[in-house]
Amino acid sequence: MLTGIHVVMIGGDARQIEIVRKLSTLDARVSLVGFEQIEAGFIGVSKEEMDDIDWKTVEAILLPVGGIGNDGFINSVFSSNKIKLEAKHLKQTPESCTIFTGITSNRLEKMASQAKREIVVLMNRDDVAIYNSIPTAEGAVMFVIQHTDSTIHGANVAILGLGRIGMTLATTFKTLGANVSVGDKESASLARAFQLGMKPFHLDDIKQALKQADVVINTIPAKIVTSSVLTEMMQHAFLLDLASKPGGIDHDYAQKRGLKSMIVPGLPGMVAPKTAGKILANVLSDLLLEQTRAQ
Amino acid sequence: MLTGIHVVMIGGDARQIEIVRKLSTLDARVSLVGFEQIEAGFIGVSKEEMDDIDWKTVEAILLPVGGIGNDGFINSVFSSNKIKLEAKHLKQTPESCTIFTGITSNRLEKMASQAKREIVVLMNRDDVAIYNSIPTAEGAVMFVIQHTDSTIHGANVAILGLGRIGMTLATTFKTLGANVSVGDKESASLARAFQLGMKPFHLDDIKQALKQADVVINTIPAKIVTSSVLTEMMQHAFLLDLASKPGGIDHDYAQKRGLKSMIVPGLPGMVAPKTAGKILANVLSDLLLEQTRAQ
Amino acid sequence: MLTGIHVVMIGGDARQIEIVRKLSTLDARVSLVGFEQIEAGFIGVSKEEMDDIDWKTVEAILLPVGGIGNDGFINSVFSSNKIKLEAKHLKQTPESCTIFTGITSNRLEKMASQAKREIVVLMNRDDVAIYNSIPTAEGAVMFVIQHTDSTIHGANVAILGLGRIGMTLATTFKTLGANVSVGDKESASLARAFQLGMKPFHLDDIKQALKQADVVINTIPAKIVTSSVLTEMMQHAFLLDLASKPGGIDHDYAQKRGLKSMIVPGLPGMVAPKTAGKILANVLSDLLLEQTRAQ
Amino acid sequence: MLTGIHVVMIGGDARQIEIVRKLSTLDARVSLVGFEQIEAGFIGVSKEEMDDIDWKTVEAILLPVGGIGNDGFINSVFSSNKIKLEAKHLKQTPESCTIFTGITSNRLEKMASQAKREIVVLMNRDDVAIYNSIPTAEGAVMFVIQHTDSTIHGANVAILGLGRIGMTLATTFKTLGANVSVGDKESASLARAFQLGMKPFHLDDIKQALKQADVVINTIPAKIVTSSVLTEMMQHAFLLDLASKPGGIDHDYAQKRGLKSMIVPGLPGMVAPKTAGKILANVLSDLLLEQTRAQ
Ligand SMILES: NC(=O)c1ccc[n+]([C@@H]2O[C@H](COP(=O)([O-])OP(=O)(O)OC[C@H]3O[C@@H](n4cnc5c(N)ncnc54)[C@H](OP(=O)(O)O)[C@@H]3O)[C@@H](O)[C@H]2O)c1
Ligand SMILES: NC(=O)c1ccc[n+]([C@@H]2O[C@H](COP(=O)([O-])OP(=O)(O)OC[C@H]3O[C@@H](n4cnc5c(N)ncnc54)[C@H](OP(=O)(O)O)[C@@H]3O)[C@@H](O)[C@H]2O)c1
Ligand SMILES: NC(=O)c1ccc[n+]([C@@H]2O[C@H](COP(=O)([O-])OP(=O)(O)OC[C@H]3O[C@@H](n4cnc5c(N)ncnc54)[C@H](OP(=O)(O)O)[C@@H]3O)[C@@H](O)[C@H]2O)c1
Ligand SMILES: NC(=O)c1ccc[n+]([C@@H]2O[C@H](COP(=O)([O-])OP(=O)(O)OC[C@H]3O[C@@H](n4cnc5c(N)ncnc54)[C@H](OP(=O)(O)O)[C@@H]3O)[C@@H](O)[C@H]2O)c1
């Protein structure tokens, strides 16, 4: 339990609701900033303004998945106010206070280091990435079903990168009956792909490997599906780029050649906002419980 | 090979193109009726009018998936002409000529029996139903991802009926990480569900069994999800009815209670028209090959 | 509950212990015959002699999996006495009394028909066969691991017959990473094998299909793996025949050619006696509960 | 191809035969030492004595899986001679010559460093460990089937450690229908176990987690299944320790308490010697091809 632990949640979207629900269940005391437009109705939770918060008792500050923007403002879909976290707020908190954010930024890093407060970047954590790989893979399945006119069953699906997302993608498509091939450059990943019943290929051989692909899903944040690779692909192939901007596929060339290709960021929030919120809520509350026990 | 075998294909949709492609590959001689608006370009295939066809040499007549309408006309998405198959055409064919249709109708049965020609109803065949269960299950996956805000992974998914479609649905959702329960009335089906790692329940206990369901997919063409069952379900539950009209769910009551429920027919043609066409093409050409060998 | 329902259990092996345990839990009154050598210690259970039983109150008679032998005696691994069920016993039972046996015999059929008592042959039931397919498949896995020097993963495994056992075998070996092919003569079974990601082949083509097999597992009780099939198989192939005597493989010829081939009956009792007992206990108690409710 | 590349293979067991077969196929020139008792019959392969080898041309020296013993001798199941690799041999090789061994030893390290030759320790490689996890998991399946009297299907199976072996074990047992729980101390591993449909637990909670286990398989080379954990386990539980000596289970205490527990090393060579040989042959030949290309 987090009985009495004071947490400030600033801004966010539907996912934050799941976090509030969980913290309330664990008996924390939650101050919400930027949630005017929703009726919270959770025990121990109150809406407040930045300057009215009793920062001396705050053990954790929760920022949205997008963190703090370059302009210093924090986004909230439930508010039309301009909300800003400032060094002066941080300085009032106890030394043990931790800042939890989805992604970080120079601005946030600087502010935290000045105030000597620790930042936990949730989206950098392996466990969060792996939990998020589940809705990501389901989103990819949905896109592939929508954008092809054959079944996944029996299709040649190439997954590029057997990292945290790639592993889940590969097993998911395999399980749906696709002939999955996996491109990576590590011999251990190629061995794992083989063990899982997929066809491994080294990224050096990507051109040859994608010739017969009906579907390509990329998770590698480096330009590996170049025009020279695309030029040899089948005309009906569908390319889905999940890697963060600018992705790993030469989409301009793909379009020119008439291949269907898309970059789709943020699948978890798009196809399963409730699950995406629960993932953050679970990891956050585990971290808070640990932090509390440690003290 | 079907070298020289004369086949008449009348009307249809995108799926017919796959059948033509296959027949052409097998070297059959194909007369197309109702395909004015497409450029066929297949070897051995020619566009003709009903009355110009050399019926004496016709070994097979291929009707669309929808067969012959009640008004006697045959639908074609590639033509604006009114096309009609008549007894006089059938009577000119050799005795061995077979009529292949997706579904049948009184009108067609009568005409064929008068002309003493055999009808093969493709959609009644177990193998076709099982092949079609693959795109059907993928379509169901797509609908569930689109219409829920949690992942399939970890969701309680109830499949009603472990028949030809139900078996594929159940294994597909299980494989995606759902907690699948299966309702049926046969002890053998319940045993199979258990073997496949699902939770079986007897349809007599459906009310209790659906209380915790996040998703319900029905394949049973009988009203089993009654208002008394619906009334105890969770508010966020999603119900997908695949059984042919009028389905097995009391959708009126579901809507009244604010539950999301949908009837979705024709998934194979919707989510994977190319695969759906290939399924028919493969089964048809196997049947024609057998028929040819038998003679 | 089976409160007060009088059941007589005559002879058997370790599997009977699971049945007694279950019946005792359900509060039945159980008379054991042929269990002198074990300490029963279950509530409501007593050891008796055939002639001391109060047959007038007996609602069910449970025979062993092997039923009644040709000599009329009933086998028990827990007794050295000669035990015999006779028409005179049956005639004293109430009309509703049912005889449950694993397998049946002419002698038993005759006795029951004379006494006008119903027989339920458990091993003929689809649900029992499907539940038993689970330990059977695990037994097959064990034999294949023991008798080959390569992994199942990556091996070409042919399953003959996609019936109740064959379905479980095929999915089990597929799941372990084998390239599974399935031979059957029904187009619906071939379609199911395809849907499950296996390579289907028609039994007419068995000779060609087994040429590349590393492992063959037969469930078809008809001589289909003939010398002419065996002669073309690879030298290191391993053949496991599960079909009931005389099996479906020409083992004499296989041995002559130096191929490893085995007939292995009774896998459930061999590799998982406890599970095998529980399967019978569950089905039996469900049937008794139904019978009791029906009265 | 390895055309003309000179490789010396010294000692070993059945696995070496697969390596020779592969090298011969790739057109290498192989000198065998310690293989008198077998008839090699491979093209490009000849049996030689240590002192007759033309060391100046040797590009690779292949030692057995066990490497060089503490006494300096190299084991060979195909020879009764005493074979010894000495510094004087190494010194005659070209600088580019690499020594490949299964496991290493101080003696070998010293000799190689004196001669300035590189050692590749195959069993330390991630890819080899992952490939070997396949026969290891099959071996574990065989042991569990043999040593329990219930099916794996439906059993509570706890896997300790989600490393290279643990991942394969966990997916294999899950796939066979077990309720798999996974103990690890990394949050990323616990997330992966969740994604794969298993029940994750932190090793701190091992005592509670193993209370309901029917089967425990350990891969962690540290004493984690202590007497205090064992004391709360079910009497029929089966414990299989795969971690290298001394394993992670207090086997003495387990035996005292009457629990079945075993340490089983070397499963790949035991249950699938041919596959185990092919794994080494493939990795080795890939490494040799790379080495050759690099020059
Ligand atoms: N679209 C969405 O909804 C969504 C959701 C989640 C994540 N993502 C994005 O997906 C991407 C993958 O995420 P992840 O969590 O799976 O990351 P990850 O675990 O780091 O995996 C990335 C993979 O890319 C490989 N890789 C990285 N740089 C490479 C290079 N220069 N050349 C070749 N291979 C390279 C890695 O191989 P090594 O391990 O061998 O380096 C690894 O296999 C990220 O860009 C992430 O932002 C998108
Ligand atoms: N929406 C789509 O895209 C789509 C695609 C394909 C099929 N379908 C439709 O889906 C339905 C199922 O097709 P299928 O091929 O799976 O049929 P099926 O193999 O006959 O299976 C039907 C299932 O319903 C059960 N059932 C039938 N009548 C019942 C009753 N009165 N009470 C209880 N259970 C009953 C059957 O149980 P028993 O076997 O024990 O009788 C069986 O489990 C059909 O209506 C079909 O038209 C829709
Ligand atoms: N060794 C063991 O431990 C063990 C355990 C359980 C069962 N069994 C034995 O395994 C066998 C299969 O049992 P099951 O429950 O799976 O039976 P099943 O469901 O009847 O399946 C038998 C299969 O064989 C096919 N078949 C039967 N006769 C055939 C013939 N003349 N030609 C071609 N195919 C034929 C059936 O095809 P159709 O359906 O198309 O006819 C079906 O695919 C039985 O002999 C049973 O006694 C052995
Ligand atoms: N019996 C056989 O036939 C056979 C076959 C192959 C391998 N093995 C043996 O099996 C063992 C595992 O091999 P592997 O390739 O899977 O190794 P691995 O990839 O290193 O995995 C070892 C696992 O143990 C965990 N671990 C290590 N030390 C720990 C500690 N002190 N406390 C808690 N967890 C600890 C690791 O967790 P972290 O990753 O978080 O550290 C990891 O999950 C080795 O001992 C190997 O020799 C035996």
Q: Which pairing describes strands C45-47 and C29-33: parallel, antiparallel, or unpaired?
A: parallel
Contact partners, residue B107, CB within 8 Å, separation at least 6: B68, B70, B72
Question: Are D150 and C272 an interchain contact pair (Cβ–Cβ within 8 Å)?
Answer: yes
CA D32 to CA D8: how far, in whole Å? 6
User: Is the C-beta atom of A285 inside 6 A of ligand 1?
Assistant: no
User: Is the C-beta atom of B132 inside 6 A of ligand 2?
Assistant: yes
Q: Which domains does chain D have, with CATH numbers?
A: 6-124+273-294 (3.40.50.720), 128-264 (3.40.50.720)
Whole-number Å distance, alpha carbon D251 to ligand 2 midpoint, is: 54
**Residue C153 contacts residue C174 (beta carbons within 8 Å):** no
Predicted local distance difference test score (pLDDT) of residue A90: 94
| A72 pLDDT tier (thresholds 50, 70, 90) | confident
The residue among B149, B167, B175 with the most chain A CBs within 10 A of its CB, best to mutate, is B149
Query: D30: closest CA among D57, D49, D54, D5?
Result: D5
Whole-number Å distance, alpha carbon D265 to ligand 4 midpoint, is: 13
Residues paired with residue A6 on neighbouring β-strands, in sequence order: A29, A58
Residue nearest to atom 18 of ligand 3 (CA): C163
Of C220, C270, C279, best ligand 3 pocket probe by most atoms within 8 Å of the beta carbon: C220
**Residue B263 contacts residue B247 (beta carbons within 8 Å):** yes
Of B15, B165, B185, best ligand 2 pocket probe by most atoms within 8 Å of the beta carbon: B165
Predicted local distance difference test score (pLDDT) of residue A245: 85
Residues paired with residue C106 on neighbouring β-strands, in sequence order: none
Predicted local distance difference test score (pLDDT) of residue C65: 93
Nearest CA in chain D to B196: D177
Quick check: C5 pLDDT over 90? yes
Whole-number Å distance, alpha carbon A145 to ligand 1 midpoint, is: 23
User: Is the C-beta atom of C183 inside 6 A of ligand 3?
Assistant: no
User: Is the C-beta atom of B191 inside 6 A of ligand 2?
Assistant: no
Alpha helix locations (H) across D116-226?
126-147, 164-175, 187-195, 206-209
Whole-number Å distance, alpha carbon A219 to ligand 4 midpoint, is: 28
Predicted local distance difference test score (pLDDT) of residue A40: 66
Average pLDDT for D10-38: 94
Quick check: A279 pLDDT over 80? yes
Predicted local distance difference test score (pLDDT) of residue C40: 67
Whole-number percent of chain D with pLDDT over 70: 100
CA D32 to CA D40: how far, in whole Å? 9
Q: Give the gap in angstroms from C-alpha C126 to the nearest C-alpha of chain B.
A: 5
| pLDDT tens digit sequence for A14-50 | 999 999 999 999 999 999 999 988 886 888 899 999 9
Nearest CA in chain A to D134: A195
Residue nearest to atom 26 of ligand 3 (CA): C220
Tell which atom from ligand 3 comes closest to the C-alpha of C267. Answer: 3
Residue D107 has a CB neighbour count (10 Å cut-off) of: 15
Residue B53 has a CB neighbour count (10 Å cut-off) of: 19
Average pLDDT for D222-241: 97
* Chain A residues touching D196 at Cβ < 8 A: 171
**Residue B11 contacts residue B83 (beta carbons within 8 Å):** yes
Instruction: Identify which has the larger pLDDT, A174 or C87.
Output: A174
Residue nearest to atom 9 of ligand 4 (CA): D243
Angle between helices C126-147 and C164-175 (to 10 degrees): 40
User: Is the C-beta atom of B186 inside 6 A of ligand 2?
Assistant: yes
Neighbour-count burial of D250, counting CB atoms closer than 10 A to its CB (0-12 exposed, 13-18 middle, 19+ buried): buried
Of D121, D182, D242, best ligand 4 pocket probe by most atoms within 8 Å of the beta carbon: D242
> pLDDT tens string for chain B (295 positions)?
999 899 999 999 999 999 999 999 999 999 999 998 888 688 889 999 999 999 999 999 999 999 998 788 999 999 998 899 998 999 999 999 999 999 999 999 999 999 999 999 999 999 999 999 999 999 999 999 999 999 999 999 999 999 999 999 999 999 999 999 999 999 999 999 999 999 999 999 999 999 999 999 999 999 999 999 999 999 999 999 999 988 999 999 999 999 999 999 999 999 999 999 999 999 999 999 998 887 7
Question: Are D196 and A134 an interchain contact pair (Cβ–Cβ within 8 Å)?
Answer: no
User: Is the C-beta atom of B104 inside 6 A of ligand 2?
Assistant: no
Predicted local distance difference test score (pLDDT) of residue B40: 66
CA A34 to CA D217: how far, in whole Å? 50
Average pLDDT for D47-64: 95
Residues paired with residue C181 on neighbouring β-strands, in sequence order: C158, C199
Q: Which chains touch D (3 or more CB pairs under 8 A)?
A: A, B, C
- Please, what is the average pLDDT of chain D? 95
| A68 pLDDT tier (thresholds 50, 70, 90) | very high
Average pLDDT for D29-41: 89
CA C92 to CA C87: how far, in whole Å? 9
Q: Which pairing describes strands D156-160 and D118-121: parallel, antiparallel, or unpaired?
A: unpaired
* Chain B residues touching D178 at Cβ < 8 A: none
Quick check: C293 pLDDT over 90? no
Predicted local distance difference test score (pLDDT) of residue B245: 85
Nearest CB neighbour to D191, from listed A127, A171, A195: A127
Residue nearest to atom 9 of ligand 1 (CA): A243
Quick check: D72 pLDDT over 90? no
Query: B206: closest CA among B181, B173, B171?
Result: B181
Angle between helices A273-294 and A14-25 (to 10 degrees): 40
* Chain A residues touching B273 at Cβ < 8 A: 149
Predicted local distance difference test score (pLDDT) of residue D213: 98
Inter-residue long-range contacts of D238-242, CB under 8 Å, 24+ positions, other chains counted: D238/D144, D238/D147, D238/D148, D238/D214, D239/D215, D240/D140, D240/D143, D240/D144, D240/D147, D240/D215, D240/D216, D240/D264, D241/D217, D242/D136, D242/D140, D242/D165, D242/D169, D242/D217, D242/D218, D242/D267
Nearest CA in chain B to C131: B191
The residue among B124, B126, B130, B282 with the most chain C CBs within 10 A of its CB, best to mutate, is B130
Whole-number Å distance, alpha carbon B190 to ligand 3 midpoint, is: 20
User: Is the C-beta atom of D28 inside 6 A of ligand 4?
Assistant: no
CA D283 to CA D292: how far, in whole Å? 14
